[in-house]
């Protein structure tokens, strides 16, 4: 088991490096010289050259990459071109806001989906099962940004109960545990949790069905074990897969929150990314994508190790 952990961690390193290379080269994907995005149109050639040297754009690309990587590892992503503040200062509060959304959404999805999926499996073939399955498929098929808009229509426009946009703190990015903020949290979390809920529901249902069909469940029952105790066994065996999927969905939530954050103008990393793309703020773009992607690599690592640890059927070492 230890061998597996070490190998898995070692494997994550070249992956992370590959990810960083892709992040770095994103800038060069677009047409034209990246420096043009930074400079105003009227800048003179000398000005352009000076900025070019200052940002290190004059060096060969591999060298630029290594310099950038070196700084990135230390947390220095340069300064935002829009605000001229360190990227990291913009990124951290934004990440925290997105993190809050993701944690709430993942927890909500898991709780509802695990219970519903389990019930559906136990009541296989009945209308309960069919309704849960229908709901799950709907969750997976729905464009979550559209659900967000529908929610806003219902609860903000028609009923006026919840705020249509914002995090509840006006223009600031700080969070506080008060009613305004919590009210603002409701709709984004619901919208975000639709897709993970559908996926986890299907996974749970399939997993529990598979466990229930195993011979050893019959054996447990015939030995006189109460249904509650049988349930404990079933949960223990179905959990690894479901937890793994939940973990991965959490990673996807972190990375893919941009659409919801755009609808609600939620000051998270997604919104930051959105602004950075349109303002062509390269340092923020590179920094945000890198951090989010590396975080996803990390989540994958944890999920893999946890799944191997929990599920004895998976080969170890």
Partner 1 sequence: MVEMKTLDMREGAQGRRQQGEEITVGSLRARSYWMMVWVRLRRDPVSMVCGVILILIALASIFAPWLAPHDPYQTSVFKRLAPIGSPNYLLGADELGRDMLSRLLYGGRVSLFVGLFPVVGALLVGGTAGIAAGFVGGRTNMLIMRLMDVFYAFPSVLLAIAISGALGAGFFNVILSLTLILIPPIARVSESVTTQVRTYDFVEAARASGAGSWTIIRVHVLSNVLGPIFIYATSLMSFSIIVASGLSFLGLGVTPPTADWGLMLSTLRQSIWVNPYVAALPGAMIFITSLCFNLLSDGLRSAMDMRL
Partner 2 sequence: MMTVHPERAAGRSEREQPLLAVRGLRKYFPVKGGLFNRSVAMVQAVDEVSFEVREGEVLGIVGESGCGKSTTARLLMRLIEPDAGEVSFDGAAVGTRDGISTKELRRQVQMVFQDSYSSLNPRLPVEDTIAFGPIVHGIGRTEAKERAYRLLGEVGLDPQRFGRRYPHELSGGQRQRINIARALALRPKLVLLDEAVSALDKSVEAQVLNLLLDLKKEFSLTYLFISHDLSVVHYISDRVLVMYLGKIVEIGPVDLVYNCPVHPYTRALLLSRPSMDPGDRKTEPPLSGDPPTPINPPSGCRFRTRCAYAEEVCERIEPTLFELDEHRNHQTACHMAVPGSGHSKAAASTTA
Rounded distance between C-alpha atoms, residue 269 and residue 93, angstroms: 8
Query: Which partner from the list partner 1, partner 2, none does 6 bind, CB cut-off 5 to 8 Å by kind?
Result: partner 2
Query: Which partner from the list partner 1, partner 2, none does 317 bind, CB cut-off 5 to 8 Å by kind?
Result: partner 2
- Which residue in this structure is represented by tokens 């300064």? 79
Q: How many CA atoms lie within 13 A of 177 on its CB side?
A: 1
Rounded distance between C-alpha atoms, residue 220 and residue 232, angstroms: 11
Letters for 184-223 (x = contact with partner 1 by CB under 8 A, - = none) are ----------------------------------------
Instruction: Specify whether the CB–CB gap between 209 and 222 falls below 8 A.
Output: no
Tokens, residue 296: 């996803």
- Which residue in this structure is represented by tokens 């992370």? 16
Of the candidate spans 110-118, 151-159, 217-225, 229-237, the one that interacts with partner 1 by CB under 8 A turns out to be 151-159
Comparison of 8 and 233: residue with beta carbon closer to partner 2? 8
Burial string for 275-284 (b: 16+ CB within 10 Å, else e) reads bbeeebbbbb
**Contact between 162 and partner 1 (CB under 8 A)?**
no
Rounded distance between C-alpha atoms, residue 215 and residue 3, angstroms: 33
Residues from 4 through 23 that contact partner 2 (CB under 8 A): 6-7
**Contact between 153 and partner 2 (CB under 8 A)?**
no
In the complex, the residues that contact partner 1 under the rule CB under 8 A are 14-16, 18-19, 22-23, 26-27, 29-31, 137-138, 140-143, 145-146, 149-150, 152-153, 157-158, 251-252, 254-256, 258-259, 262-263, 273-274, 276-278, 285, 289, 292-293, 296-297, 300
């Amino acid at each position: 088991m230890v061998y597996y952990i070490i190998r898995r961690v070692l494997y994550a390193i070249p992956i992370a490096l590959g990810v960083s290379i892709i992040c770095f080269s994103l800038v060069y994907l677009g047409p034209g010289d990246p420096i043009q995005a930074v400079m105003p149109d009227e800048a003179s050639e000398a000005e352009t050259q000076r900025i070019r040297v200052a940002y290190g754009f004059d060096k060969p690309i591999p060298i630029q990459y290594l310099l950038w990587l070196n700084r990135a590892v230390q947390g220095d992503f340069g300064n935002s071109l829009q605000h001229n503040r360190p990227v990291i200062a913009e990124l951290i509060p934004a990440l925290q806001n997105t993190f809050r959304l993701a944690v709430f959404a993942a927890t909500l999805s898991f709780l509802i989906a695990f219970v519903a999926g389990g019930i559906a499996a136990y009541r296989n073939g009945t209308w309960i099962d069919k309704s849960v399955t229908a709901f799950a498929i709907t969750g997976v098929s729905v464009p979550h940004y559209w659900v967000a808009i529908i929610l806003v229509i219902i609860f903000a426009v028609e009923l006026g109960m919840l705020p249509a946009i914002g995090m509840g703190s006006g223009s600031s990015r700080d969070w506080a545990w008060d009613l305004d903020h919590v009210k603002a949290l409701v709709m984004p979390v619901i919208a975000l949790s639709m897709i993970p809920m559908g996926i986890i529901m299907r996974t749970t249902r399939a997993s529990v069905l598979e466990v229930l069909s195993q011979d050893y469940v019959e054996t447990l029952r015939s030995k006189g074990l109460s249904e509650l105790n049988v349930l404990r066994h079933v949960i223990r065996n179905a959990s690894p897969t479901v937890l793994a999927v939940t973990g991965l969905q959490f990673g996807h939530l972190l990375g893919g929150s941009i659409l919801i954050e755009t609808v609600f103008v939620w000051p998270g990393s997604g919104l930051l990314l959105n602004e950075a793309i349109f303002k062509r703020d390269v340092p923020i773009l590179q920094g945000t994508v890198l951090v989010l992607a590396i975080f996803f690599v990390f989540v994958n690592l944890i999920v893999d190790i946890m799944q191997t640890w929990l599920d004895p059927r998976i080969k170890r070492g």
